[in-house]
Structure 1
Amino acid sequence: MARAGLTTERVVRAGAEMADEIGFEQVTPTELAKRCGVKTASLYSHVKSAHELKTEIALLALAELADLASAAVAGLAGKDALIALANVHRDYALEHPGRFAAARFRLAPETAAASAGIRHAQLMRAVLRGYDLAEPHQTHAVRLLGSVFSGYVGLESSGSFSHSSPGSPESWTEILDALDVLLRAWPRKK
């Protein structure tokens, strides 16, 4: 029987908070049950397995990030939209490192198809419309943006840029300027 006051949503949110504190990979039902003040068996009345817990945290992170990105790029186009989208990803990763890692958790195909991950691709494609990229170039550009955002913030959050000059924020700005130039001059082979 589920503990009074403990809901699946609360369990998932507590798991997301834990992921930000100790790392997404370190979140387990046992550790989360301790945090929630219940026995592990009680936690399983809200999530069936460690994999389901991680999936639910990933879905939460994808939805949060999609909501933030939608608000950030609303009404913007071109370079302004690109910068807004990039900064939302970077800011979210720095503020919520465990959730950002969770957003990259591999989901089952049917779960991914129903997730906010679809909104992320749509947002990137909306930003790329300002660069007049048709398929298949647009798909390649979506993959490039995702790689840059994820790769840069992953390296930055692990401290890879903390021991050299110029500072990471300056590099980020220059990289976004370079991405804008690249997207404007994208090679359009047929």
Structure 2
Amino acid sequence: MARVGLTAQRLVEAGAELADEVGFDQVTASALARRFDVKVASLYSHIRNTQDLRTRIALLALEELADRGAAALAGRAGKDALAAFANVYRDYAREHPGRYTATRFRLDPETAAASAGGRHARMMRAILRGYDLEEPDRTHAVRLLGSVFHGYVDLEAGGGFSHSAPDSQESWSRAIDALDALLRNWPAT
């Protein structure tokens, strides 16, 4: 084991790279052991099993995405903040498709509460302060934004927009414009 320098962090980072190469669904303890040319049992002093590995990759991806989101939001408000945050999601998915998939991995409630997932929700809520929404509308808007960002990214990644005009960047920009208009004119209950 010492010959390859295995650590939990190294395994998680290699697992994240593997997810980007072959897809998050294909990341297993066995696949990771093959990558390091070791037996699966060699990994078990660092990770418990495939579920634990995938959870750790999801936590890494959520942290990376939250860090990018925080940097993109700095000094921005309103539509500028909305567009910057949306672009973080889209760009991350393009750069790290497997890790992006990992951000949607179902975590147990305790792990989820302690993860960077809460940072994402707080950043969305911070964006929405610029739109003067009160509860429960703010929660509805957070859910709407998440649905649009993830839905668009998933459709685009699956090639859903590759064979028709206008190009997907134009549609993305229009979707952000439409979200901004909707948030500024949120319907009354």
TM-score by length of 2: 0.98
| Partners of 1:5 and 1:144 in 2: CA distance | 44
| Post-superposition offset of 1:37 | 2.1
Provide, for residues 119-148 of structure 1, a one-character-per-residue CA deviation record: whole Å limited to 9, x for no partner: 000000000000001100000000000001
In the alignment, residue 165 of structure 2 is paired with which amino acid?
Answer: S
| Partners of 1:3 and 1:111 in 2: CA distance | 32
| Partners of 2:47 and 2:9 in 1: CA distance | 10
* Cα contact 1:66–1:119 (8 A) shared by 2: yes
| Partners of 2:30 and 2:3 in 1: CA distance | 16
In the alignment, residue 135 of structure 1 is paired with which amino acid?
Answer: E
Residue 175 in 1 paired to residue 155 in 2?
A: no
| Partners of 1:62 and 1:75 in 2: CA distance | 22
Task: Give the aligned partner of residue 61 of structure 1.
Answer: 61
| Partners of 1:131 and 1:2 in 2: CA distance | 54
Task: Give the aligned partner of residue 108 of structure 2.
Answer: 108
In the alignment, residue 91 of structure 2 is paired with which amino acid?
Answer: D
TM-score by length of 1: 0.97
Residue 130 in 1 paired to residue 143 in 2?
A: no
Task: Give the aligned partner of residue 88 of structure 2.
Answer: 88
Task: Give the aligned partner of residue 140 of structure 1.
Answer: 140
Gaps of 5+ in 2: none
* Cα contact 2:4–2:36 (8 A) shared by 1: no
Task: Give the aligned partner of residue 36 of structure 2.
Answer: 36
SS of 1:92 mapped into structure 2:
helix
| Partners of 2:2 and 2:116 in 1: CA distance | 28
| Post-superposition offset of 1:7 | 0.7
Task: Give the aligned partner of residue 156 of structure 1.
Answer: 156
The percent identity for this pair of structures is: 68
| Post-superposition offset of 1:45 | 1.3
| Post-superposition offset of 1:3 | 5.6
Task: Give the aligned partner of residue 98 of structure 1.
Answer: 98
Structure 1 consecutive aligned stretches of length 4 or more whose deviation exceeds 4 Å: 1-4
Alpha-carbon RMSD across the aligned residues, in angstroms, is 1.0
SS of 1:135 mapped into structure 2:
coil
* Cα contact 2:29–2:43 (8 A) shared by 1: yes
| Post-superposition offset of 1:188 | 2.9
